Homo-oligomer: A and B are copies of this chain.
């Protein structure tokens, strides 16, 4: 008998992987300027520092970094992560921090702990592609919350809560992926209040928070939580290195314990060596100067990209992010970003069509642009190329 796709579980049958990953295959073309990714700049990565810290912690902790560790994490890292997150106003201690394989695993463990097939999960629309895929794999019913330039519209979210009794609300409050929009202070308070009043867990996915290039930092939604309804998910991917796959989730002790149990059978624990490296990074106090350096670079790149919209067709609207890695644009209709994509690739410039970020599809005139992976002259050149392609297509 031949193995066939008929064997697959129902919840995995319709899931065929990230559309973005297909786009990436086109980007190997020489001369391509890509605004399609979401990686940190290579210049933000520090292999020498990581090598030094790796050596240092293996010498300091010896075999204990190579043995099995506790599922709830390497205690020194839990301590230093709690201190780091505390500066963002996150209420936490070493005991309520769980080391995870990036924010992606935090959300996966949360879905595993909470979601029965058919349970409703509210999310922003557009939202992070990986989150959409994860929700689908748990057979969650995805319901989109209306948003504006200040993020989720709280009154609309409340109506959806009353209507759908969701188990979970997924929000990226700061420099959202894909839009770059930041949820306002008032709305952060209001969402925390809704979560507590109605009994809805908020998954606050906040990996870009410290990549702020203008404006003042805002406290986490979690800082306004009263009774344990907000789970804060941070990651060192955008700050130190995505390839190390380390993040930290903060949850109330009851929920954290269930996430730990879920992690036991997912991967036992996060690699001790990686936890110890990031712990040493934090304890040596390397983060503030590092963030200052990379934010200076990203700020200039963002400004170059915003400047480049002058080449775009009249009627293009775009967000004005205060941080993060992305700018979002709405092209004048009837421009269709998916249809124009091939012409853009022919002109050696790439983006991601915004439709992929909508759980319900549509919104064919939107695009996501990343600025962190290109030097400034490359951004200028790329925006000019893309503007030309779009202006041609608009005619």
Interface residues of A (CB under 8 A from B): 1-5, 7-12, 15-18, 21, 39-40, 42, 45-48, 50-51, 54-55, 58-59, 61-69, 71, 101-102, 104-105, 108, 112-117, 119, 130, 133-134, 137, 167, 196-199, 201, 227-229, 237, 240-246, 252, 254-255, 257-258, 260-262, 264-274
- Is A201 within 8 A of B272, CB to CB? no
Given contacts A7-B167, A9-B112, A39-B67, 19 further A-B contacts (CB under 8 A): A2-B228, A3-B254, A7-B255, A12-B113, A17-B257, A42-B67, A45-B63, A47-B62, A51-B58, A67-B241, A101-B271, A102-B268, A105-B267, A108-B266, A130-B268, A133-B265, A137-B262, A245-B269, A245-B270
The chain B residue with its CB closest to the CB of A69 is B243
Neighbouring B residues of A116 by C-beta, 8 Å: 9-11
- Is A243 within 8 A of B273, CB to CB? yes
- Listed by A's residue number, 13 A-B pairs whose Cβ atoms lie within 8 Å are A1-B196, A3-B227, A17-B264, A45-B66, A47-B63, A47-B66, A51-B59, A54-B58, A101-B266, A104-B268, A108-B266, A273-B273, A274-B274
Rounded to whole angstroms, the CA-CA distance of A270 and B229 in the bound complex is: 30
- Is B244 within 8 A of A273, CB to CB? yes
- Is B67 within 8 A of A45, CB to CB? yes
Rounded to whole angstroms, the CA-CA distance of A257 and B240 in the bound complex is: 29
- Is B12 within 8 A of A112, CB to CB? yes
Return the contact of A244 from the options B17, B40, B66, B265 (Cβ within 8 A): B66
- Is A254 within 8 A of B40, CB to CB? no
Neighbouring B residues of A58 by C-beta, 8 Å: 47-48, 50-51, 54
The chain B residue with its CB closest to the CB of A51 is B58
- Is A15 within 8 A of B267, CB to CB? no
Rounded to whole angstroms, the CA-CA distance of A252 and B67 in the bound complex is: 31
The chain B residue with its CB closest to the CB of A2 is B227
Return the contact of A15 from the options B7, B119, B261 (Cβ within 8 A): B261
Distance to closest chain B CB from A128 (angstroms): 11
- Is A7 within 8 A of B201, CB to CB? yes
Rounded to whole angstroms, the CA-CA distance of A270 and B65 in the bound complex is: 17
The chain B residue with its CB closest to the CB of A115 is B9
- Is A265 within 8 A of B45, CB to CB? no
- Is B8 within 8 A of A113, CB to CB? yes
Rounded to whole angstroms, the CA-CA distance of A102 and B271 in the bound complex is: 10
Return the contact of A101 from the options B12, B237, B243, B268 (Cβ within 8 A): B268
The chain B residue with its CB closest to the CB of A105 is B267
Rounded to whole angstroms, the CA-CA distance of A198 and B62 in the bound complex is: 49
Query: Do A241 and B66 contact each other (CB < 8 Å), given the known contacts A55-B54, A228-B2?
Result: yes
Return the contact of A268 from the options B245, B261, B269 (Cβ within 8 A): B245
Neighbouring B residues of A254 by C-beta, 8 Å: 3-5
- Is B198 within 8 A of A3, CB to CB? no
Distance to closest chain B CB from A213 (angstroms): 22
Distance to closest chain B CB from A92 (angstroms): 15
Distance to closest chain B CB from A251 (angstroms): 9
Rounded to whole angstroms, the CA-CA distance of A280 and B347 in the bound complex is: 40
The chain B residue with its CB closest to the CB of A229 is B3
- Is A244 within 8 A of B228, CB to CB? no
Neighbouring B residues of A167 by C-beta, 8 Å: 7
